[in-house]
Structure 1
Amino acid sequence: MAEHFDCHYCKVSLLGKKYILRDNNQYCVKCYENLYSNTCEDCRTPIGSDCKDLSYKDHHWHEQCFKCAKCSRSLVEKPFAAKDENLLCTECYSNEYSSKCFTCKKTIMPGSRKMEYRGNSWHETCFACKRCRQPMGTKPFIPKETDSYCVPCYEKQFALHCSFCKKAITTGGVTYHDQPWHKECFLCTGCKMQLAGQRFTSKDDFPYCLDCFSNLYAKKCAACAKAIAGLGGSKYISFEDRQWHNDCFNCKKCAISLVGRGFLTNRDDVLCPECGRDV
């Protein structure tokens, strides 16, 4: 009995012919390619069994068709990148899509380290201090216009120095008598409370919070002995080197207010005219 060895699909005899096995079934070359060959993304023809089938993300190419979409150089065994379903060699991809260094204007190659700040990019070695030219890497820096400086160089070249501690002021600060101060150094001369953002006054060019100034220098009310600040529009009465709060300027005997009225004095007391007649 003659042995049958036929194509699993078209049943043509495969005796003495080239065939291909798939899932334990044998196929003639023509049937195998019609049934199972992938179509090349470039030339749109089947990739035959006698050709290399190169694939990337479910797409397939003949070996000779696996090339850069822009410069047509072969990408076989070479690094490449994909953009909008096109394959590009690293050089074409970089020229077309990679960031350009803000300093040297050259392409920042894919995979290389880069620094980014305010929408611009730099090679790691190009992101350097404008003054000392040392790469800043991940160290803190201070921008000025279009340039950047490491902190020591910025302090040497631009920063104001605090009138109190003499150290550089890199952020914020307070100006008092045309002199710069750190916020944390601008303190009340009396209690040492920070004055930045607070109401304050001065005496002999020294700053004071309102409480300290009132306690130390403000006039004292002859009636209640408390300070008359005289700040923020406070009103007071003055008579013969003595002062009273408006609310304290009252008749010693009947306590009627004497503001805007005539009055008499009896030693250290002030009296309304009526009570003064009885003295």
Structure 2
Amino acid sequence: MSTSERFDCHYCKDSLLGKKYIMKEDTQYCTKCYENLFANCCEGCSSPINCNSKDLSYKDRHWHEQCFQCAKCSRSLVDKAFAAKDDLLLCTECYAHDYSSKCSTCKKTIMPGSRKMEYKGNSWHETCFLCHRCQQPIGTKSFIPKDSGYFCVACFEKQFAYQCCACKKVGTSLCDFLYTLTYQDKPWHRECFVCIGCRKQLSGQRFTTRENYPYCLECFSNLYAKKCVGCTKPITSESRIVLMFSFTLTPLIQFSCLYLHVFKYCQKNLVTISH
């Protein structure tokens, strides 16, 4: 640079030759002008952060190095983990003591930055959230609450889940529970509880049993009910019957004990006996 050329502060025009200066956007400033124009104000002491100080920043807020402290205990936060609460910076110990959740199992504070498990307003350390049966950490795996405990799916199925008598599949969810029924103290899926004869679903229907097998009324009548000697139709529990005892009209004609419909008119059943 020739002596005829000047190298001045862009703002105050004082010469910068032989002096300390700061460049901003390709423009030079003396330190005094730079601090007045551009220096950030410290959140701690409200003084400008000059060129000879470190400028520590967090979310567009700035501090002197010596002012970057925990708002409660005043310990330095430089190069340490910290947490923010309502615009206050706190060391992890103070934040944990005042604001962190307590583990529902060990009752100790869950420190900021550690992994926390939450369910229905309760919190646990990851290593404290255990299956009630196998005592293994559940972590992010699926689990099922039961009474006051929590179970991994495998343990819940072993201890509590029902097994359908027909398909042998295990049910665990509330939806599964709502679509089951109990017969002879055993669980069945509704769609699995069917007539042994025609395979029609019996849920919500009248049925009967024979040798512990369920039958719809129609199949049971067709297979096992006594037949009317007149119309040959099955006589169900809803039919009225009359019992005719054996008697002799002639030596060649005998009638055995017969079950006959009374109100279902069958012409073949009408027998007139003359005395």
TM exceeding 0.5: yes
1:270 to 2:274 alignment:
no
Aligned partners of 2:35 and 2:48 also within 8 Å: yes
- Whole-angstrom CA distance in 2 between matches of 1:35 and 1:167: 76
Q: Deviations over 1:219-273 (max 9, x none)?
A: 445554333443xxx4545463334384x426x4xxxxxxxxxxxxxxx3438xx
The CA deviation at 1:33 is 1.0
* 2:260–2:269 CA contact under 8 A, matched in 1: no
1:54 aligns with 2:70: no
Decide whether the 8 Å contact of 1:163 with 1:180 is kept in 2.
Answer: yes
Distance (whole Å) between structure 1 residues aligned to residue 165 and residue 22 of structure 2: 90
Structure 1 distance, partners of 2:101, 2:262, is 72
Map 1:1-279 → 2, pairs under 5 A: 4-151=6-153, 153-154=155-156, 172=177, 173-177=180-184, 179-183=185-189, 186-191=193-198, 195-203=202-210, 205-222=212-229, 224-230=231-237, 234-236=238-240, 238=242, 240=244, 241-244=258-261, 246=263, 248-249=264-265, 252=267, 268-270=268-270
* Contact preservation (8 Å) 2:44, 2:63: yes
Q: 1:67 to 1:174 in 2, by over 3 A?
A: same
CA shift at 1:204, angstroms? 5.2
1:51 shift after superposition: 0.9
Taking a change above 3 Å as real, the CA distance of residues 129 and 24 of structure 1, as seen in their structure-2 partners, is closer
CA shift, 1:45, in A, is 1.6
Structure 2, unpaired ranges of 5+: 245-257
Q: Does the 8 Å CA contact 1:228/1:245 hold for their aligned counterparts?
A: no
User: 2-side partners of 1:121 and 1:23: how far apart?
Assistant: 50
CA contact (8 A) 1:5 1:14 kept: yes
Q: Is the 8 A contact 1:164 1:181 kept in 2?
A: no
- In structure 2, the CA distance between the partners of 1:245 and 1:204, relative to structure 1 (3 Å rule), is farther
The alignment partner of 1:88 has SS state of strand
Instruction: Indicate if the aligned counterparts of 1:42 and 1:61 stay in contact, CA closer than 8 A.
Output: yes
Q: TM-score, normalised by structure 2?
A: 0.71
Please give the alpha-carbon distance, in whole angstroms, between the structure 1 residues aligned to 2:119 and 2:243: 68
CA root-mean-square deviation: 3.7
